[in-house]
Structure formats: structure tokens, C-alpha cells
């Protein structure tokens, strides 16, 4: 029989917990006890260090052929608010970020019906030339699959060409919930969960590190979250290519997904981050994305197993178009203060988790 005590004994002995045990934790309201176990699991891996990186997000276009039901960012071509940035503008933003001390640009966007694959290669080349010190973390598995279709190339060929153009790693978006029945409700046009995993696997085999996200707080059940994390844990056992796991709290405004909820609760946010820390024993980093969580929950999450804060995003569109109330940017000093006040040690990292400086 599963009890909190049997789970606690496993975590304390540094043993892996099962999917059924993770589901038990999701159905429990013992938030502080779950948090304590997560904090223990985190401290074993990361001590008191909390990592952050200075980055800038660039979303080249919000025009997207998929139009996922939860997404308030995307537009159809010609619709009010639809935009596509020119190459010059993408480059200008990267150069500005480099000038402000960023070490990374994070580039993701919609699946544009007319832009050619060469546009994205050109964007990477131009950024690499104009801002050579920036690491380019770009394109979700969903975009990679789209490029392979529009350019009639294999996934391996797309990844090779992007690497040659300057791609350094990939973010973890597009995973949503990898369980097919949930995808059919929230993003029926998107690639399947199995395909997302396969593309990430190929990226890892090509030497690209990636992250993994989980969009939670919509139609999914606790069992779906656990199934999602179990698929990631299995792939990580095989490739070791994931850097961080990032739960994304669903922001419900302006989305076509009409739910009764007004967003996730703080309790659910903390529990989800903590269970992720306990369950994903082969992930080094659990990242709180304060844009979706708000600064306060992100700060408290540092006592619930989180060791990584994203980021110093200068302009954020995906969460804010969906009603996120967090600020558009936190400076390096804001982040350092937030971490110190949580009694942790702020450590700036680069995209590949090399430590840059302790504060
Ligand atoms: O895939 C879209 C999510 C993702 C909403 O890898 C929403 O370092 C909440 O993946 N409410 C893109 N989430 C963002 C992303 C990301 C962010 C920060 C860091 C990293 C990383 C990756 O945003 C999408 C989707 O899951 N999203 N709409 C919404 N209304
Ligand atoms: Fe397009 Fe991504 Fe938004 Fe889905 S989540 S509609 S794929 S931009």
C-alpha cells in the first residue's frame, strides 16, 4: 500500500518513486511535507545555490497555422495584432541584449505559413555574426518538425543545418501534456506527444541539449501530469540530454480554452514543482518560470525543490498575451535580491549550466 511514509522513506534513501506514488502525492494536500521532501532532493543535487541566467526572448512571429486552443499569442495571417519581425529587427534585439549583459537569446515563434526555412537559418547566422557572445537557444520540437515539412528535409538534416547556422541548444516548449487524449482537447493540430519525444531524442543524439516543459492547470488530470513526467524521465534515462524541467502554469485569459478556473492556485503550483523535483530524479534542474507563476510564488518555490529561475526576460509575449500579471522584466539585481531573501545563494549561469558568477 502506498502511504506518505513509504514515499518519504524512498526519497530519504535516494530511491526513485513510482508513477503511482507521484499520483498519490498529487492527490494529497500535505503541501509542507511534500515540499520538505522536494527540498531534500534538491539540496542533495544543488546545495543552497539557485541559478539564473540573463537572457532575452525574441518571438519572430505570432502567425501560426496551428492555433492551439490554449494559446492567446498566436494569430492568423492578416488578423489584428499579427506580426512578423524583419531579420534586421531580430538582429537588433539580439545586439541590444548582448550590450545589456545577456548571455543567451531564446527564440521561439509561431508556425508561419509563408516564411521559408532559410529565413530561420539566416536569422541565426545574422545573430551569430552581430552578437557572437550570445548562446542561441531556439526552436521547439514543434518548430523543428514544421521546418522539416516545409523544407522537405529529415529532422536530422534540419538540426544539422541549424547547428551549422549557430543553434546552440533548444528550449522545452511544445510539450504541453504529452498524453494524446489531452492533446486532442487543447492542441489537436500540434504534433503528437510521441513525435515531440522522438524529435527531442534526435536533438539529444545530435548533441543539442534541450529543456522540457509541462503546461498544467487546464483539462488534464493528475494522472496525465504523472504520465507526462514519466515519458520525460524514461527519455532522460536513455539520452541524458535534458537540462531543466519547467512546469508552465496555464494563463487562461484570451484563450479559446473556456474553463471555469481563473488560473492555477499557488498550492497547485508549489505542489507541482515539488513533485517534479521528487519524481524526476534524473533531471538536475527544476526551473520556476516566474513569468507564469508570479514573482512571489517563484520565490517561495525555492523552498519547494526549485533551483533555477528564468530569467531576466526583457520582453515576454506568450504569457502576457494570456493575461500574466507578472512584470515584463526583472533585472539581474531584482533576481539576486529575490534569491537572497529566500536564504539561498544566487549564481549566474550560462545556457549550458556553466557557472559564471556567485553573488
Ligand atoms: O509551448 C502557451 C506555453 C510555451 C500559454 O525551455 C502557455 O527554457 C501558459 O516553452 N499559459 C512556450 N503557458 C514557452 C516555453 C518556455 C518558456 C520559458 C523557458 C523555456 C525554456 C521554455 O508556452 C508553449 C506553451 O506550452 N504557453 N500559451 C498560456 N496561455
Ligand atoms: Fe502556434 Fe505554439 Fe501557439 Fe500552438 S502554442 S498556436 S504552435 S504558437
> How confident is the model over 1-57, as pLDDT tens digits?
999 999 999 999 999 999 999 999 999 999 999 999 999 999 999 999 999 999 999
Structural domain range at position 297: 43-349
CB distance 257 to ligand 2 below 6 Å: no
Domain assignment present for 13: no
CA distances from 217 to 26, 104, 196, 299, 338 (A): 13, 29, 20, 20, 25
Q: Report pLDDT for 316.
A: 66
CB distance 248 to ligand 2 below 6 Å: no
Closest ligand to the CA of 109 = 2
> How confident is the model over 88-120, as pLDDT tens digits?
999 999 999 999 889 999 999 999 999 999 999
Q: Report pLDDT for 79.
A: 94
Burial 1-18 (b: 16+ CB within 10 A, else e): eeeeeebbebbeeeeebe
Nearest residue (by CA) to ligand 1, atom 14, is 173
Q: How many angstroms does the Cα of residue 27 sit away from the middle of ligand 1?
A: 25
Closest ligand 1 atom to the C-alpha of 174? Answer: 1
Ranges of the chain whose pLDDT falls below 50: none
CB distance 264 to ligand 1 below 6 Å: no
Q: What angle do CA 212, 95, 148 make, to 5 degrees?
A: 45
CA distances from 89 to 93, 155, 254, 288 (A): 6, 28, 27, 29
127 within 8 A of 134, measured Cβ to Cβ: yes
Nearest residue (by CA) to ligand 2, atom 7, is 66
Domain assignment present for 240: yes
Domain assignment present for 264: yes
Domain assignment present for 29: no
Best of 60, 190, 215 to mutate for ligand 2, by most ligand atoms within 8 A of CB? 190
Element (H, E) at 84: none
CB distance 73 to ligand 2 below 6 Å: yes
Q: How many angstroms does the Cα of residue 110 sit away from the middle of ligand 2?
A: 6
Domain assignment present for 24: no
DSSP-derived letter for residue 219 is: S
CB distance 263 to ligand 1 below 6 Å: no
Q: Report pLDDT for 170.
A: 98
CATH number for 324 = 3.20.20.70
Best of 140, 183, 213 to mutate for ligand 1, by most ligand atoms within 8 A of CB? 213
Domain assignment present for 304: yes
Q: How many angstroms does the Cα of residue 197 sit away from the middle of ligand 2?
A: 17
Domain assignment present for 14: no
Domain assignment present for 19: no
CB distance 111 to ligand 1 below 6 Å: no
Number of domains in the chain: 1
42 within 8 A of 306, measured Cβ to Cβ: yes
| Cell numbers placing 252 | 487562461
CB distance 270 to ligand 2 below 6 Å: no
Best of 312, 318, 352 to mutate for ligand 1, by most ligand atoms within 8 A of CB? 318
CB distance 142 to ligand 2 below 6 Å: yes
Q: How many angstroms does the Cα of residue 74 sit away from the middle of ligand 1?
A: 12
Closest ligand to the CA of 64 = 2
| Cell numbers placing 277 | 523535483
pTM of the complete model: 0.97
Amino acid at each position: 500500500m502506498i502511504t506518505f511514509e513509504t514515499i518519504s522513506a524512498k526519497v530519504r534513501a535516494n530511491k526513485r518513486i513510482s508513477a503511482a506514488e507521484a499520483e498519490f502525492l498529487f492527490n494529497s494536500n500535505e503541501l509542507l511535507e511534500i515540499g520538505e521532501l522536494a527540498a531534500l532532493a534538491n539540496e542533495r543535487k544543488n546545495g543552497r545555490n539557485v541559478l539564473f541566467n540573463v537572457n532575452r526572448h525574441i518571438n519572430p512571429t505570432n502567425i501560426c497555422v496551428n492555433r492551439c486552443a490554449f494559446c492567446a499569442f498566436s494569430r492568423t495571417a492578416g488578423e489584428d495584432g499579427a506580426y512578423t519581425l524583419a531579420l534586421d529587427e531580430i538582429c537588433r534585439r539580439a545586439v541590444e541584449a548582448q550590450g545589456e549583459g545577456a548571455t543567451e537569446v531564446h527564440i521561439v515563434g509561431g508556425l508561419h505559413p509563408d516564411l521559408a526555412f532559410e529565413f530561420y537559418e539566416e536569422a541565426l547566422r545574422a545573430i551569430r555574426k552581430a552578437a557572437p557572445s550570445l548562446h542561441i537557444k531556439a526552436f521547439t520540437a514543434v518548430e523543428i518538425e514544421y521546418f522539416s515539412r516545409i523544407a522537405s528535409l529529415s529532422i536530422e538534416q534540419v538540426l544539422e543545418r541549424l547547428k551549422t547556422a549557430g543553434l546552440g541548444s533548444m528550449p522545452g516548449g511544445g510539450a504541453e501534456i504529452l498524453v494524446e487524449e489531452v492533446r486532442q482537447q487543447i492542441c489537436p493540430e500540434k504534433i503528437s506527444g510521441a513525435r515531440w519525444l522522438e524529435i527531442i531524442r534526435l536533438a539529444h543524439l545530435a548533441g543539442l541539449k534541450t529543456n522540457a516543459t509541462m503546461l498544467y492547470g487546464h483539462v488534464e488530470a493528475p494522472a496525465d501530469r504523472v504520465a507526462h513526467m514519466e515519458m520525460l524521465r524514461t527519455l532522460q534515462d536513455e539520452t541524458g540530454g535534458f537540462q531543466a524541467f519547467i512546469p508552465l502554469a496555464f494563463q487562461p485569459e484570451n484563450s479559446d480554452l473556456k474553463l471555469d478556473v481563473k488560473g492555477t492556485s499557488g498550492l497547485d503550483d508549489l505542489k507541482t514543482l515539488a513533485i517534479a523535483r521528487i519524481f524526476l530524479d534524473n533531471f538536475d534542474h527544476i526551473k520556476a518560470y516566474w513569468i507564469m507563476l508570479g514573482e512571489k510564488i517563484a520565490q517561495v518555490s525555492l523552498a519547494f525543490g526549485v533551483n533555477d529561475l528564468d530569467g531576466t526576460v526583457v520582453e515576454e509575449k506568450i504569457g502576457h498575451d494570456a493575461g500574466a500579471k507578472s512584470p515584463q522584466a526583472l533585472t539581474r539585481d531584482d533576481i539576486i535580491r529575490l534569491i537572497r531573501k529566500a536564504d539561498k545563494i544566487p549564481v549566474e549561469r550560462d545556457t549550458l549550466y556553466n557557472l559564471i558568477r556567485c553573488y
